[in-house]
Amino acid sequence: MSEQYKSREERRKQQQQSPKPKKKKSGKTLFKKIFLTLIALGIVGMIAGAATFAFMVKDAPELDPALLKDPIPSVLLDINGEKITEVGAGNLDYVEYEDIPDLVENAFLATEDVRFYEHNGMDLIRLGGAVIANVTKGFGSEGASTITQQVVKNSFLNNEKTISRKAQEAWLSFQLERKYTKQEIFEMYVNKIYMSENSHGVLTASRLYFGKDLDELELHEAALLAGMPQSPNNYNPFTHPENAEKRRNIVLSLMNQHGFISEEQKTEAQSIPITEGLVPEGEREIEDDTPYDSFVDVVIDEVTEKYPDLDIFSDGLTIHTTADKDIQKYVSNILNSEDVIQYPDEEFQAGITLLDSSNGEVRAIGGGRNQEVKRGFNFATDQKRQAGSTFKPIAGYAPAIEFNQWGTYHTLVDEPYKYSEGTEVNNWDNSFKGTMTMRQALAESRNIPAVKAIQEVGTEQSMEFANRLGFNFKDEYYESSVLGTKAVSPMEMAGAYSAFANEGFYTDPHTVKAIEMRDGTKIDTTPESEAVMNDYTAFMITDMLKTAISSGTGTTANIQGLPVAGKTGTTNYTAEEKQKYDIPNGATPDAWFAGYTTNYTAAIWTGYESRKTYLPSNGYDQKIAQMLFKNIMQYASEGKETADFKMPNSVEKVAIEKGSNPAKLASEYTPSDQIITEYAVKGNAPKTVSEKFDKLEAPNGFNAKYNKEANTIELVWKHKDKDNTQFVVTGAINDGGAQELTTTSETSLTIENPEPDSTYTFTVKAVQDGKESDAAQTSVNIPSNEEEPEEVEPPEEETPGDGQQPPGDEEGGNDNENGNGDGNNSENGDGNGNNNGEGNDNNNGNENGNGNGNEDNSEEENQSPEEEPSPPDENPEE
């Protein structure tokens, strides 16, 4: 027992001395640690978030009371950084909060911030919905701005959608709510909002659109105004009534949803036409003293279209434009006065775009004549009319050069012709001029060669090329498009022609170079230039268009001493229109001119707003576009060096024989007045040399012998191709004039009863297929009745060395009986003469061939030096 007890005691002691096993931690302990950890992380996160927030808002602007009350206009600067004008200033009728009816306030609250009187600047419920939308659809996809935040944004910040900007907006909204009452903030909001038509504030808009003060507005009218701030220009009831009506009805639904109006009120108001209550168009008065209105109009549209988050009327932007103030003033003056051009009447209109050829920057815009409404219809950008023949280079000839490597000499036939589908094509003068070069066809504005050009390249390639130049044609592009049946604007045409001026590089026409925010952020808005054609295409079109101005249809636009290229264009009336509107023959609805120098490109449309009013064919009205171009281009170019267009290395000059079809190179025999200098894509020039003016081999062995017994002169000559050749023989007595004796296919002629004691001089030349040779000449003396006859040899010339032909002698001597052997066909058969058989057109030696008796046909000498070719004759009418 004692041993067992001891053992138990020992085991107990051992157990007491050995370590106890660890117990598992309770769940409460683990939770406590996690909780503490989260608390710590939360504190760290809060500190980090606070630090980040503090960092984001450290550059937030101060709350400036002046900025809270008034919209901030944007400043427009010209190319030299000088102020042109301010946009967004001046058109504001201020309203105090006490004068805002509940109807108007409720409409805005339901639309913009229904919990406005419940939050402290940030609507967390609305923010939560926006956060979910931004996570699922991308940051910035949905806004959560309260009225307070909109006041802050419109007064101090830009519209950039970044976390930093939103943080600053939240901070300033909190500050604004602490400093001002809700009523004051609402007053700021309704006076600051932009309401289109260069106006700000709800009272201004009420008077502008309805001619009423706020307390006179009806429900549907208040709802329309409350819906506009989201997108003022798109919801403008004057210009976009359908959009405005849809937006108004949404506002009415929101008012009903939030308990401001009943279902019946909503339904009744939604049924009212949007135009009901609007100020009639003829009574609308929009005060705007903005200078350079046409240019500013395009700047506003460009900023709004490209940067919809910016409000040029209230964001206080600095817009760096491309305008040249001096040129813009000149364009405005030439359109709205008769200091330079006498216009036919007050209704005559014009649209003008002048831009820098090298970069697409618009220097001046002429939006129309006698415009009374600011931001009205702009004939330079809004106008879309058929371009007429100004489109021929774009749709026909340039693609033919680009894709088919045509040269300026490419031969086309102006003849009765039809489109591929069978309709006849007519020229403007209802005549046909036959074979002509592409240069002549373009310069004289012939329609049929242009149609043949687009047929050669195909309408698909033609449209592709046109779209490279800034157009956006997608369908309904036919062969007739080359004649300018597509409707385009002067802005588009100027952009397209500038690519020809700029060696094949196109840049979108633009009026804005950079936009600077109030916080100093600057956006570079300059578009990139793009190569849209080969330099050889641009150069050859340009060179042909220089001809169009110098001697073609555009001579009225020509500027002495200025390298300028350009093209006229007129359009037609249909037979139905002529009958309906009593249009006389020759009248046209549109007259265009598009042209350029290396510095500037201009496109000008003239006509009337309605096609019913025509431009008569009186030699003046249809040329006003050319007059405008000439005067504007002259003014813009004064004091500025204007370089000529440079021929690129991809082009080579070629001398072409006029009238050859297909085009052939001029030969050494082509007369200088039949040679034209043209251009070819290098490596694609014609290879064939014309033979039209090649000279026949002259008759040789020409001899005159007096037969005393018969009292006749016997003429004989030889020619290698006598069976297919006619010979023209002339004769002269003593020093008298030569007379044609006969044209014969024979190689001999007998002259009967010559005058005694006279010297007869004869010539003979070969004629074949319109070609003729040089003349061979010989003489003979007729003795008096008492004297023996004496034969006269040709005058001797200095004899060159062996193997050389005497300069200027293509006949190689005379065929006389004495047989001098100097390359002549003599009866004694020496045949060794000084020329050794190399005389031109000679039979050397006798006919038995004892040595050098072979006939030599070489024509290497006596060629007149090549003359500078003259340009083709062209008629200056379209």
For the chain, how big is the Rg over CA atoms in Å? 46
Residue 108, token pair as written in the block: 């805005």
Which stretches of 719-876 are DSSP H helices? none
- Catalytic site residue from 173, 294, 357, 389: 389
- Distances from the Cα of 450 to the Cαs of 131, 288, 419, in angstroms? 60, 47, 11
Write out the two tokens for 28: 């409460």
Tokens representing residue 417 in the block: 């012709």
Please report, to the nearest 10 degrees, the dihedral formed by the alpha carbons of residues 198, 201, 207, 213 taken in order: -170
CB 442 within 8 A of CB 544: yes
Cα–Cα dist 180/201, whole Å: 20
Amino acid at 396: G
Phi and psi angles of residue 412, each rounded to the nearest 5 degrees, phi first: -130, 150
Instruction: Confirm whether 389 is a catalytic residue.
Output: yes
CA 515 from chain centre, in angstroms, equals 26
Distance CA(693)–CA(668), nearest Å, equals: 9
Does the CA dihedral 808-812-815-819 come out positive or negative? positive
Secondary structure (3-state) at 246: helix
User: Residue 822 and residue 826: Cα distance in Å, rounded?
Assistant: 9
Of the residues 105, 112, 697, 811, which is catalytic?
112
Cβ–Cβ under 8 Å, residues 629 and 566: yes
Estimate to the nearest angstrom the gap between the alpha carbon of 743 and the chain centroid.
Answer: 60
**Sign, CA torsion 60/62/65/66:** negative
Q: What ranges make up the beta strands (E) of 101-160?
A: none
Task: Label residues 748-757 b or e (16+ Cβ within 10 Å = b).
Answer: ebebeebeee
The encoded tokens of residue 173 equal 């909204």
The backbone region for 13, taken as left when phi is positive above 0, alpha when psi lies in -120 to 50, beta otherwise, is alpha
DSSP string, 565-587: EEEEEE----HHHHHHHTPPTT-
Task: Let me know if 516 is a catalytic residue.
Answer: no
H helix runs in 749-864, sequence order:
none
Distance, in Å, from the CA atom of 714 to the CA atom of 729, rounded to the nearest integer, reads: 13
Q: Give CA–CA dist 728/261, Å, rounded.
A: 111
Token pair of 205, please? 């808009």
* Token pair listed for 775: 């003349």
- Angstrom distance (rounded) from CA 184 to CA 772: 103
Catalytic positions are: 112, 389
